[in-house]
């Protein structure tokens, strides 16, 4: 045994206890300890063996600290085989979360009991992998092919009751898990229960059409990913091959996934998301302010969504608007959102009602006097925001955090409108705010450490993935987006159709093409932002000419059923519009742009390398704490494919020398105004290193 695993004989039951906090991960010490304990149990007087875990959970998966390192024996597939081939019945007792390799350990046992609160799952697909210790072979034998495919290709956990209904759990217990599991083991021994080897069960036979249907669904839902399709291959092998051959197929496909760039990218994102919550230079012991009541100013789509976040997390919210009519409209938006959530099964009617009742409306600033946090979410006008913060300065209690949801404006100038700039911070939510996971936390020059620490912790409480940004125009995400959008619109006016640009990016992996995204967000949003800038700061006029003309024609995107595309008023389905193509050609001629054929590879490189190049500048300026933070912003906020690992990881994967060569090519072809290589990019290429190694040395 090892320090992570203990063994004791209790009456007729050999009890193996895993104790590897915090989540009993399958470290080498745990695997070795299980191996040693199994051997000991098979040589003593025990008549059954119980595997149980201390702490808050059963084995919750692999040990992430071992990712990327050479595996050590005993390997998990061998350990699972050893469990299944034990000479005595082996029972797993589940609580908390039994995930990934932990659930594979349970599946290799002869019996499984669980607390009703337990959850089980095989989430490997979310790391670009598939279960590699029998998960694709044992799950269909117990639950059937369809249930196995749903569970493994989604990666989402299911509760114990659902698992029991599928045959993945044999017995639900209540109360003390150890006591209940021991009692059930005693019953199994008393009735001389046999060892049930999952590997010996027959897999149901289904038609080839079912597998074809799953592959067709995955082609849409998991576009561009390889792991989900290899999972289908493995489950098919469970149907068509004997267990040993099926295991060999699983192992082969697992290694292919593990060695793929996609899994490397998704594992990078796994770690990047966790690192993004850490604030460089800020002690973990930094005190936090208590947040109980939250005020939200502005009851439009964004403000209403922001209010829902806090209400859903159990906080009281006061939503402020300038008029009763605007306030009523905002509360109606919230009501519709909750109705939609009920229809999607996100919560019950009772839960929706409880959350709605936490949101009160007001037209008086005095109602915010006792708020612990106030989030301003009005439209992008610096003067208006400064006026609001001056008002809040006089109304809000001492110690209240004053946050702006601005997407572009200078948080330092907003803070300067108060006598307490240390209490001011940017909290940039992404629309729809009650759904999107990303939250940019913008640290102004005078933002207090405890305000920053409080907001990062609060982000987690309301279900967001927070990333710290410094102050600049557009912060991390929208600053980079301006370059991405510039190239998209330049490609359009130079010769590509809107459909060609969007198709190229969607086939590459983006959730939506850029022009469809602009229509979704509202073309008037960018139009108003540009109008608020001095003319010399509005960028290349060719890059906004078509969009601005569309807005001036009343075509603001989906909200007006017309933008770059036309939209069905009921279904929002988009269709191409010859009128837009005629407009593009007319404006190109007026600007003296000679149109040409632009292939998809040029479209992709121009848009993606514009992101990479600007991201390099953001890192060099210290706006982002680390390259991985930028990747988190783009994967969670802008539909960048996780299997590409975010723009900065992608630049490293392609090779920074190739990125720089392409950027220099674009500078020569299109001019230095739009294509100026980031100094950091040039430096890293000159030094023969990459961004990953640079970050290890400079972004601890």
Q: Which of 124, 236, 499, 614 is catalytic?
A: 124
Whether the Cβ atoms of residue 374 and residue 424 lie closer than 8 Å to each other: no
- Are residues 252 and 177 in contact, defined by beta-carbon separation less than 8 angstroms? no
User: Residue 695 in contact with residue 627, Cβ under 8 Å?
Assistant: yes
Asked if 585 is an active-site residue, the reply is: no
- Quick one: which of 21, 46, 50 has its CA closest to 34? 50
Active-site annotation holder among 84, 104, 250, 494: 104
3-state secondary structure 499-565: HHHHHHHHHHCCCCCHHHHHHHHCHHHHHHHHHCCCHHHCCCHHHCHHHHHHHHCCCCEHHHCECCC
Report the distance separating Cα 45 and Cα 34, nearest Å: 18
Both tokens of 612, joined, read: 């990479």
CB atoms under 10 Å from CB of 265, counted, come to: 24
Listing DSSP states for 92-145 in one string gives EEE-SEEETHHHHHHHHSSEEEEETT-EEE-GGGGGT----SSHHHHHHHHH-H
Question: Which DSSP symbol is given to 347?
Answer: S
Q: Which tokens is 237 given?
A: 């092998």
Retrieve residue 641's tokens: 């494919």
CB 626 within 8 A of CB 524: no
What's the helix, strand, coil split of the chain in %, to 5? 55, 10, 35
**104 among known catalytic residues:** yes
Tokens for 413, please give them.
């100038």
Q: Are strands 574-575 and 97-99 parallel, antiparallel or unpaired?
A: unpaired
Start-end of H helices in 124-260: 135-143, 145-154, 160-166, 177-190, 208-221, 227-240, 243-258
Rounded to whole angstroms, the Cα distance separating 332 from 334 reads: 5
Cα distances (angstroms) measured from residue 45 to each of 12, 21, 36, 69:
7, 30, 16, 39
Active site members: 104, 124
């Amino acid at each position: 045994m090892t320090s992570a695993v203990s063994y004791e004989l209790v009456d007729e039951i050999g009890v193996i206890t895993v104790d590897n906090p915090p989540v009993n991960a399958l470290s080498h010490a745990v695997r070795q300890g299980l191996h040693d304990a199994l051997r000991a149990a098979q040589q003593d007087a025990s008549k059954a063996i119980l595997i149980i875990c201390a702490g808050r959970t059963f084995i919750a998966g692999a040990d992430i600290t071992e990712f990327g390192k050479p595996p050590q024996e005993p390997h998990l597939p061998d350990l699972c085989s050893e469990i299944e081939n034990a000479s005595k019945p082996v029972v797993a007792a589940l609580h908390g979360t039994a995930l990934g390799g932990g659930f594979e350990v349970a599946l290799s046992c002869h019996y499984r009991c669980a607390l009703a609160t337990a959850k089980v799952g095989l989430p490997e697909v979310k790391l670009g992998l598939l279960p590699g210790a029998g998960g694709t072979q044992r799950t269909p034998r117990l639950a059937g092919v369809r249930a196995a495919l749903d569970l493994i290709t989604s990666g989402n956990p299911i509760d114990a009751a659902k698992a029991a209904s599928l045959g993945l759990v044999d017995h639900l217990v209540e109360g003390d898990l150890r006591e209940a599991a021991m009692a059930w083991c005693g019953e199994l021994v008393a009735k001389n229960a046999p060892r049930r080897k999952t590997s010996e069960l027959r897999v149901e036979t289904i038609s080839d059409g079912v597998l074809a249907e799953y592959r067709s669904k995955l082609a849409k839902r998991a576009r561009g990913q390889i792991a989900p399709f290899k999972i289908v291959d493995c489950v098919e092998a469970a149907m068509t091959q004997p267990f040993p051959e099926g295991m060999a197929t699983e192992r082969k496909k697992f290694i292919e996934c593990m060695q793929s760039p996609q899994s490397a990218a998704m594992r990078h994102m796994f770690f990047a998301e966790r690192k993004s919550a850490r604030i460089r230079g800020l002690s973990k012991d930094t005190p936090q302010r208590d947040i109980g009541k939250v005020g939200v100013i502005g009851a439009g789509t964004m403000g209403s969504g922001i209010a829902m976040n806090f209400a859903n997390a159990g906080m009281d919210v006061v939503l402020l608007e300038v008029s009763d009519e605007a306030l009523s409209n905002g509360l109606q938006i919230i009501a519709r959102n909750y109705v939609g959530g009920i229809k999607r099964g996100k919560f019950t009617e009772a839960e929706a009602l409880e959350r709605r009742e936490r949101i009160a409306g007001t037209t008086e600033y005095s109602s915010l006097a006792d708020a612990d946090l106030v989030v301003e979410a009005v439209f992008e006008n610096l003067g208006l925001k400064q006026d609001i913060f001056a008002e809040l300065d006089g109304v809000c209690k001492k110690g209240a955090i004053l946050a702006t949801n601005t997407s572009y404006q200078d948080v330092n100038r907003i803070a300067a409108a108060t006598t307490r700039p240390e209490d001011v911070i940017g909290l940039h939510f992404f629309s729809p705010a009650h759904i999107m996971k990303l939250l940019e936390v913008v640290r102004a020059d005078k933002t207090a450490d405890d305000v920053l620490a409080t907001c990062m912790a609060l982000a987690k409480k309301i279900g967001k993935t927070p990333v710290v940004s410094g102050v600049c125009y557009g912060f991390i995400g929208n600053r980079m987006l301006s370059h991405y959008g510039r190239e998209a619109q330049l490609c359009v006016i130079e010769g590509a159709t809107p459909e060609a640009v969007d198709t190229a990016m969607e086939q590459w992996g983006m959730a939506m093409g850029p022009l469809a995204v602009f229509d979704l967000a509202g073309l008037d949003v960018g139009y108003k932002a540009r109008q608020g800038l001095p003319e010399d700061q509005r960028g290349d006029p060719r890059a906004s000419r078509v969009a601005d003309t569309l807005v001036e024609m009343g075509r603001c995107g989906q909200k007006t059923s017309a933008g770059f595309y036309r939209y069905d008023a009921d279904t929002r389905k988009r269709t191409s519009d010859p009128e837009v193509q005629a407009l593009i050609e007319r404006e190109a001629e007026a600007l003296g742009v000679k149109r040409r054929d632009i292939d998809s590879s040029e479209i992709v490189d121009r848009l993606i390398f514009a992101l990479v190049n600007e991201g390099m500048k953001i890192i060099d300026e210290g706006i982002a704490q680390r390259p991985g933070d930028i990747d988190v912003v783009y994967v969670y906020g802008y539909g960048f494919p996780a299997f590409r690992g975010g723009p900065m990881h992608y630049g490293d994967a392609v090779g920074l020398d190739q990125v720089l060569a392409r950027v220099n090519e674009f500078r020569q072809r299109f001019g230095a105004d739009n294509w100026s290589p980031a100094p950091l990019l040039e430096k890293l290429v000159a030094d023969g290193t990459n961004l990953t190694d640079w970050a290890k040395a400079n972004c601890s």
